[in-house]
A = this chain, B = another copy of it.
Amino acid sequence: MKLRLWNYWRSSASQRVRIGLGLKQLAFEYLVINIVKQEQFAETYRAKNSIAQVPTLEIVHDDGTVHTVTQSLPILEYLDERFPEVPLLPKDLYLRAKCRALSEIVNSGIQPMQNLSTTDRLKELGIEAKQWAPGFIASGLIALGRAAAETSGKFLVGDAPTIADCCLVPQLGAARRFHVLVDEKLADSTHQDAIDRLLAIEANCLALPAFVNAAPDRQPDAVKP
Contact = CB atoms under 8 A, between A and B. Distances in A.
Interface of A: 46, 50-53, 67, 69-71, 73-75, 77-78, 81-82, 93-94, 96-98, 100-101, 103-105, 107-109, 111-113, 118, 121, 125, 127, 131-132, 135-136, 139-140, 142-144, 146-147
Contacts of A81: 93, 96
A56 to B, nearest CB: 10
Given A81-B96, A112-B113, A121-B132, A105 B51 contact: yes
A50 B143 contact: yes
A2 B74 CA distance: 29
A204 to B, nearest CB: 21
Contact of A100 (B77, B96, B97, B143): B77
B118 A125 contact: no
A147 to B, nearest CB: 4
